[in-house]
Amino acid sequence: MNTPQLFSLEAIASIATPFKQKFAIPRQPNLANAQGVITFKEGFNDINMLKGIENYSHLWLLFIFHQNIERGWKNTVKAPRLGGNSTMGVLASRSTHRPNGIGMSVVKNKGVVSSNGQTKLVVEGVDLVNGTPLIDIKPYIAYADSVPSASDNLDSIKPIPNRDVLFSETIQQTLAEIEKKHRDFSALVTAVLSQDPRPAYKQKLDNDDKTYRVTLYDIDVGFQITDAVVKVTDLVHLG
């Protein structure tokens, strides 16, 4: 019998996250404590499918890099951790431009909520764009999935930046207002910006005239890098 070479996949759920665009999303999960709420689609909106999931502190999310799918893929990709100029094989990378566009992230399991017949699963530590389609969820099983002796020789080449993040005096009041709605807002901004989301060739600059912008939830965040520190200069509520 011939093995099929073409498989069709159906999204079982989609995830709501604070990240409205790809820019500034952490390069891997758990680098920021961002929350995600998974809503199951018709046909998969069945709480029995999640029976026993509370036994696991962490879960694997398998998803589609849906915002990149149309751009296709190449055999090699620029590796941000090599400064953005050297290339690596696509299969030797966690690039989002891959033959089948499948992503995988380990996240914290914050539990199932069900109301009015809609099942939701709350997770924390996501690195996914708002609205990303999920194709599968599995428990993270430490005895098999965790390999403490694993080596990653790129670690010594370019560690992920860890800059201090300050909020301007002038925005303290706005920040307090925002935190009434998004309790984790300053922690999230700090976690996202401490990694210096600028393009790799800019990350060397400890002073940069440009003001960068990133939208988290419904807030447009403006920031600059001055004297090696990330300074949040303005917060604009998007209507």
Distance, in Å, from the CA atom of 164 to the CA atom of 161, rounded to the nearest integer, reads: 10
Quick check: 125 binds ligand SAH (CB under 6 A)? no
Shortest approach of ligand SAH to residue 66 CB, angstroms?
Answer: 5
Take residue 144 and report the two structure tokens written for it.
């098999």
Quick check: 35 binds ligand SAH (CB under 6 A)? no
Stretch that binds ligand SAH, among 21-29, 85-93, 173-181, 199-207 (CB under 6 A): 21-29
Residue placing its CB nearer to ligand SAH in the complex, 66 or 202: 66
Stretch that binds ligand SAH, among 60-68, 160-168, 217-225, 229-237 (CB under 6 A): 60-68
Q: Which amino acid is at 64?
A: I
Cα separations in angstroms, 101 against 3, 40, 141 = 22, 21, 24
Q: Which of 58, 77, 127, 178 binds ligand SAH (CB under 6 A)?
A: 127
Quick check: 100 binds ligand SAH (CB under 6 A)? no
Stretch that binds ligand SAH, among 73-81, 124-132, 136-144, 159-167 (CB under 6 A): 124-132
Distance, in Å, from the CA atom of 102 to the CA atom of 98, rounded to the nearest integer, reads: 7
Q: Which amino acid is at 43?
A: G
Shortest approach of ligand SAH to residue 17 CB, angstroms?
Answer: 8
Cα separations in angstroms, 221 against 116, 140, 212, 224 = 35, 33, 8, 10
Total residues interacting with ligand SAH, rule: CB under 6 A: 18
Q: Which of 132, 190, 194, 203 binds ligand SAH (CB under 6 A)?
A: 132
Q: Which of 13, 14, 18, 25 binds ligand SAH (CB under 6 A)?
A: 25
Quick check: 237 binds ligand SAH (CB under 6 A)? no
Quick check: 27 binds ligand SAH (CB under 6 A)? yes
Shortest approach of ligand SAH to residue 68 CB, angstroms?
Answer: 4
Residue placing its CB nearer to ligand SAH in the complex, 23 or 181: 23
Take residue 239 and report the two structure tokens written for it.
């209507």
Q: Which of 9, 22, 89, 113 binds ligand SAH (CB under 6 A)?
A: 22
Q: Which residues contact ligand SAH (rule: CB under 6 A)?
A: 22, 25, 27-29, 65-68, 94, 96, 103-105, 127-129, 132
